[in-house]
Chains A and B, each alone.
Chain A
Amino acid sequence: MRNTVEYMGVLGEIRQRARVAATWFTQPLLPDDLLGTLNPVWSTREPHARVVGLRRETADTTTLLLRTGPARPGHRAGQFVGIGTRLDGVWHWRTYSVTSCPGDPLLAVTVTAVPGGTVSGALAHRTPVGTLLRIGPPAGEFVLPDQVPEKLLFLTAGSGITPVMGILRDLAATRPEALGGAVLVHCDRTPSDLVFGPDLRELATSTGLTLVERHTAVKGRLTPDNLTDIVPDWAARQAWACGPAGLLDALTEHWAMAGDPAALHVELFTPPATVAADATGGRVSFTTSGIEADAGPGTPLMVAGEAAGALLPNGCRMGICHTCVGRLRSGAVRDLRTGDLHDTPGEPVRTCVSGAAGDVEIEL
């Protein structure tokens, strides 16, 4: 055993040395740049994924099956990844929940076209097999604890089923017994709009999962009131909910009033409304790149920086994934969602949801 460890250590050392040596031959490029030129999917520094399969789920929803490179970090069921898409030559990043199981050879994301959306329509309708996408590391807290609770409740609406689908598939593959007593309430307008309808019905039959399809065109939206009729023992369950902001707000309020707030876990796909549109704005300096930009009142630092040509890390662009964090060197920023002021030097700041409150320096 010890020998193996030592052997692996030596191998790692050799590999590391070889990499450094190769860099001397390829500089100013990295060996990775050359591999990436041959096939972007081979790049470990700028991970790409190739679309190798498509599954039409509903009229406006498509599952993309992605082959990723060797550097793909493992995800936990329920987490999301950043997906970069080149549209008209420009890279756009959005976050999508993983709908495949952690161990699956292909990674799946399921995209619903949002009317008027920049990226989702292109991904759902105009992304042929063979397209190259960029892919970020998995992240997110919308996951089950290691000790899976006995009584599970999932509440989803529309494309909000995606992270839950990832969780259900993982449970079905690894701990099917956990699904026996679980309940899923999944809402959409009609049976044909219901994303993953057939998969869920099959899953219900094979595992004992209680599936409640709510067709809102007929029955109206899910509300805390009718939840009690559908799942009488809701308060005794650990709940995971994903859907429109209105539904999640109502549920959060309901759990706070009548249940245990810690038992409800929510994931929101859409940015909460901006409350601090009156944030003063100011001049933002990105200290690493040296780029400066004027951020108008209510304009996220990220948007201002990008307009001035800065290359800023970004993922969800709505304050969820923390990809965009940079340290505050000086000045103050206002959280555009909550209106809170942050002015502690060294504090990590999410540029996608922070506006300038006067002149500010960000270490990015």
Chain B
Amino acid sequence: MATQTFAPSMTPSAAAHLTDEQVETLGAELDALRAEVVGSLGEADARYIHRVIAVQRGLEVGGRGALIFSLFPPAWVVGTAALSVAKILDNMEIGHNVLHGQWDWMRDPKIHSTTWEWDHASPAASWKKSHNYEHHTFTNIRGKDRDLGYSIMRITPEQEWKPTDLFQPLVNLGLSMIFEWGIAIYDIEIEKVKDGTKPWPQAKAELMGLWRKARRQLAKDYVLFPLLSGPGFLSTVAANATANVVRNVWSHAVIFCGHFPDGVESFDFDEERLESETKGQWYLRQMLGSANLSGSKLFHLMTGNLSHQIEHHLFPDVPSNRYAEIAPRVQEICKRYGLPYTTGSLPRQYGKVLRKIARLAFPGGGPAPAATPPTQLPDQARRRLAAPARLAS
């Protein structure tokens, strides 16, 4: 299995110069790095996540408390700001990472991937499947990684152009404002019901699950807390809506910068190759399919350390507070193996993403198509691949 070579369609072009042996040595180096970090986890890490959770809860309680007086403009501003930050921390540094199992090693039932629920439209369970499993296992494989453009956008030139793509800059703007809902509904994979690969009762059960969660979220933000504000009902509704939109726009920007800027590769789908993919090849695909964001410590915290997207994709279940210290070492490895390590500031990277979305709204837009044309997915290929379960988390 390990001797099998990458087909051109799976070979990230930026790694074409590496031999199979080199790819496996690279994998072994990354395995060793992971083992070293995991072995050094301890009390300081536990304190870190407890502190972040306490700060997040403090901001949320404080923000919502201030918004009881939302008719008073300074209270509105402070409350909305605190609540926006709280929602961002909840989703990104806490929720996303806890759901990845990054903190499972503490064996704390209160901070564990199997018990966590977050302030997000998507119920934790369905998120874990679509994100941890599908996105992290099939990262940037066209036709397999549904996060690639979320099926409504043309994000790589290899995707076939449709006239509706003309509207995608607008679609993107809309999506960014309602990002959590987009993800939640998208996770149900309604299109699979249409083409018959997903039974309707299952989709219905998932929709009901979503609705049960969503109605509580909606009631909390748009009925209950506004009621507490009495005459300030509407201004609290506006404040909560603002906080939700701020969170959505921010997480959308950070997440789009993780996989879509220039310099990030996407891969053709080839079931056979994927099944025989070695750990080294998997690492390579994760590295070349992700891009980092540079910034201050506070910035990294606010992105949930998804600013270290490369490190996160290499080690999805290593606690996020460690990515910063891993980053220079991964960068050094990339340099030694002659691999790109894409990084840049948020405005720069997001600018590139927006430019790409605008360009790809029109036909063409890429260099000459890859050696193999994008594979059309045969039906049987849609079945779940036997990927190692642990890679997914």
Interface set of A (CB-CB < 8 Å, partner B): 24-25, 27-29, 33-34, 36-37, 46, 86, 88-92, 289, 291-292, 306, 309-311
Report yes or no: A90 in contact with B54, Cβ–Cβ below 8 A: no
Using A289-B114, A309-B104, A311-B104 as known contacts, say yes or no to A89 and B220 having CB atoms under 8 A apart: no
Query: How far apart sit A311 and B116, CA to CA, in the bound complex (Å)?
Result: 12
**A34 lies within 8 A of B57 (CB):** yes
Q: Which residue of B lies closest to A27 (CB)?
A: B216
B391 within 8 A of A: no
Chain B, 221-244, CB within 8 A of any chain A CB: 224-225
Which residue of B has the minimal Cβ distance to A93?
Answer: B107
B106 engages A91 (CB within 8 Å): yes
- Report which residue of A34, A89, A310 has the largest number of chain B beta carbons within 10 angstroms of its beta carbon: A89
A89 to B106 CA separation, bound complex (whole angstroms): 6
Least CB separation from B112: chain A residue: A311
Known: A24-B224, A28-B117, A92-B107. 8 other contacts (CB 8 A): A24-B220, A29-B117, A34-B57, A37-B53, A89-B42, A89-B45, A90-B106, A311-B115
Q: Whose C-beta in chain B lies nearest to the C-beta of A91?
A: B107
- Which residues of B have CB within 8 Å of A91? 106-108
Most A CB atoms within 10 A — which of B107, B220, B389, B393? B107
A89 and B57 form a contact (CB under 8 A): no
Question: Nearest 3 A-B pairs (CB), nearest first?
Answer: A89-B46, A28-B117, A88-B42
Instruction: Give B109's nearest chain A residue, CB to CB.
Output: A311
- Asked if residues A37 and B117 are in contact (CB atoms below 8 Å), the reply is no
B119 at the interface (CB under 8 A from A): yes
B245 within 8 A of A: no
Cβ contacts under 8 Å, B118 to chain A: 28
16 sampled A-B residue pairs with Cβ under 8 A: A27-B216, A29-B57, A29-B117, A46-B110, A88-B41, A88-B42, A89-B42, A89-B43, A89-B44, A89-B106, A90-B106, A92-B107, A291-B114, A309-B101, A309-B104, A310-B114
**Closest CB of chain B to A34's CB: distance in Å?**
6
Interface centre among A34, A36, A309, A310 (most CB of B within 10 A): A309
Q: Contacts A34-B61, A311-B114, A311-B115; is A25 near B46 (CB within 8 Å)?
A: no
Q: Roughly how many angstroms separate A37 CA and B224 CA in the complex, as a whole number?
A: 23
Cβ contact within 8 Å between B220 and A36: no
Cross-chain contact B43 with A86 (CB below 8 angstroms): yes
Alpha-carbon distance between A94 and B44 when the two chains are bound, in angstroms? 23
Is B250 located at the chain interface by the 8 A CB criterion? Answer: no
Query: Is B57 touching A292 in the complex (CB atoms < 8 A)?
Result: no
Q: CB-CB < 8 A to B216: which residues of A?
A: 24, 27-28
**Which one of B57, B213, B393 has the highest number of Cβ atoms from chain A below 10 Å of its Cβ?**
B57
- B105 in contact (CB, < 8 A): yes
A337 to B77, CA, bound (A): 64
Contact B105 A90 (CB under 8 A): yes
A351 to chain B, nearest CB (A): 14
Nearest-neighbor residue (CB-CB) of A25 within chain B: B224
What is B's interface to A at a CB cutoff of 8 Å? 41-47, 53-54, 57, 61, 101, 104-110, 112-115, 117-119, 213, 216-217, 219-220, 224-225, 389, 393
Of chain B, the residue at the smallest CB distance from A288 is B114
Nearest-neighbour CB distance to chain B for A28, whole angstroms, equals 4
CB–CB A89/B41 < 8 A = yes
B105 x A89 contact (CB < 8 A): yes
Alpha-carbon distance A290/B118, docked complex (angstroms): 20
The distance in angstroms between the C-alpha atoms of A90 and B119, with both chains bound, is 26
User: Which of chain A's residues has its CB closest to B104's CB?
Assistant: A309
Whole-angstrom CA separation of A218 from B119 in the bound complex? 66
Complex Cα distance, B107 from A89, in Å, reads: 9
Q: Which residue of A lies closest to B64 (CB)?
A: A25
A86 CB to closest chain B CB (Å) equals 7
- Shortest distance in angstroms between B72's beta carbon and chain A's nearest beta carbon? 21
Are B393's CB and A309's CB within 8 A? yes
CB distance from B199 to the nearest CB of A (A): 20
Q: Are B104 and A37 in contact (CB-based, < 8 A)?
A: no
Measured CB to CB, the nearest residue on chain B to A292 is: B389
Instruction: Give the contacting residue for B225; candidates A25, A89, A90; CB below 8 A.
Output: A25
In the assembled complex, which residues on chain B have CB atoms less than 8 Å from the CB atom of A33? Answer: 57, 110
Q: Please state if A37 and B105 are interface contacts (CB–CB under 8 Å).
A: no
Closest to B124 in A: A28
Given the complex of chains A and B, what is the CA–CA distance between A27 and B124 in angstroms? 13
Given A25-B224, A25-B225, A91-B106, check contact A37 B46 (CB 8 Å). Answer: no
- A291 and B44 alpha carbons, distance in the complex (Å): 28
Task: Tell me, in angstroms, the Cα distance from A135 to B147 when the chains sit together.
Answer: 43
Is the CB–CB distance between B57 and A37 below 8 Å? yes
By beta carbon, the residue of chain A nearest B115 is A311
A318 to B113, CA, bound (A): 26
The closest CB in chain A to the CB of B128 belongs to A290
Q: How many Å lie between the Cα of A28 and that of B215 in the bound state?
A: 12
Residues in B whose Cβ lies below 8 Å from that of A46: 109-110
CA distance A194 to B283 in the complex (A): 58
Question: In the assembly, what is the distance between CA of A256 and CA of B118, in Å?
Answer: 58
> How many Å from the CB of A41 to the closest CB on chain B?
14
Q: How far is B225's CA from A27's CA once the two chains are assembled, in angstroms?
A: 12
B106 partner residues in chain A, CB cutoff 8 A: 86, 89-91
Shortest CB-to-CB span from A127 to chain B, Å, is 14
Docked complex Cα distance between A33 and B107 (Å): 17
In the complex, which residues of chain B have a beta carbon less than 8 angstroms from the beta carbon of A34? 57, 61
Given the contacts A24-B219, A306-B107, A311-B104, A37 and B119 also touching, CB distance less than 8 Å: no
Residues of B within 8 A of A88 (CB): 41-43
Nearest B residue to A313, CB-CB: B109
Nearest opposing residue in chain B for A88, CB measure:
B42
Q: Which residues of B contact A310 (CB under 8 A)?
A: 114
Residues of A with C-beta under 8 A to B213: 28
Complex partner residue of A28 from B43, B53, B119, B393, CB under 8 angstroms: B119
Q: Bound complex: CA of A306 vs CA of B106, how far in Å?
A: 11
Q: What is the CA–CA distance of A291 and B113 in the complex, to the nearest angstrom?
A: 11
Residues of B within 8 A of A36 (CB): 110
The interface residues of chain B lying within 8 Å CB-to-CB of A37 are: 53-54, 57
Nearest Cβ distance between residue B173 and chain A, in whole angstroms? 28
